[in-house]
Chain A
Amino acid sequence: MITLGNYLALSGLIFSIGLVGVMTSRNVLKVLLSLELLLAASNLSFVAFSKFNGDYAGQLIVFFVILVAAAEVAIGLAIVVLMYRRLSTIQADDLRAMKW
């Protein structure tokens, strides 16, 4: 029998994998992909809570999260392309202009 706990454990595992990806990779594209993993994990827990609580609000929030993530990816990838044109690198450590 699959309970809510199974879905929450899976969601936490995916969230942890994405968090490790965000914190350990220097490649900006990889950081954006790991951010997508974080959003996917939270979406999974939202849908699982919606199913087990009997409330449609969780699925609507997932819909809005997907739309906001699309906007975020569009802006983020535009910034990555600009960064590659100006600095000809996509490593995050090479962005040193605002480092103190």
Chain B
Amino acid sequence: MLQGTVPFNNQILISLSMSPYFFYFFAAVLIFASLSVVLAKNPLYNVLSLVVAIFSLSCLFVILEAFFVGMVLLLVYAGAVLIFFLFVVMCLNLNTVTLTSSQQSRFHWLGTFVGLMFVSSFYFAAKSFIKAQTMEATSIRGTIETIGKILFTDYLLPFELTSLLLLIAIFGIVSLAQGALSTGKNTENP
């Protein structure tokens, strides 16, 4: 089992990626959590089940040996974005009447129909995609070192442009909040 040239950690990770049970377990958790995101009535449960879905997605990324992306997904999504969602849900202080009344839209059945069509089309596409079934997993590992090297050499311009995008997003939020503050003052002291 233990070969002299392969470190112990490496052995564990390779056996993890080989085992199909981990994939099926985390895939089932992901499917049930995302169903709960769509179907649960309470928005608090929606947000918390999205946290579970993101966590199992991150575990799938680790099985695919994309460690850096899985870590960033956990930090940014479960750590920042979903806490922001929770903060907004609690800040709005919605009562149950406004939430549960007429939850579904008029295009409820149309949306379900389109979703079922998508499921069937994905099924047929996955069946006909023979090459996907025979493709072997390569040995690339998205560690911080490899991803960082590519990110700061080949993809430097998109990386810097992303920082510009985040700056623009901050400007947008500040201007939105300023508008809200000024209108709030107007309604208080007309």
Mark A residues whose CB is within 8 Å of B.
1-10, 12-27, 29-30, 32-34, 36-37, 40, 43-44, 47-48, 50-56, 59-60, 62-64, 66-71, 73-75, 77-82, 84-86, 89-93
Contacts and interface: CB of A to CB of B under 8 A. Distances in A.
Contact of A60 (B112, B135, B155): B155
Contacts of B105: 23-26, 92-93
Given A18-B34, A19-B115, A33-B37, A47 B81 contact: no
A59 B142 contact: yes
B174 to A, nearest CB: 9
B35 interface: yes
Main secondary structure of the interface of B (DSSP, over half): helix
Contacts of B110: 23
Given A27-B99, A33-B47, A66 B166 contact: no
A16 B121 CA distance: 10
Given A2-B23, A21-B37, 5 more contacts: A9-B126, A13-B31, A24-B104, A52-B136, A75-B169
Contacts of B183: 85-86
Contacts, number: 241
Given A51-B64, A59-B66, A78-B177, A27 B107 contact: no
B132 A20 contact: no
9 contacts: A32-B85, A34-B37, A36-B50, A43-B73, A60-B150, A64-B158, A67-B166, A81-B91, A92-B105
Contacts of B180: 81-82, 85
Contacts of B135: 3-4, 52-53
A24 B124 CA distance: 24
B103 A37 contact: no
Given A24-B112, A67-B165, A33 B147 contact: no
Nearest to A72: B169
B72 A63 contact: yes
Nearest to B130: A5
B30 to A, nearest CB: 7
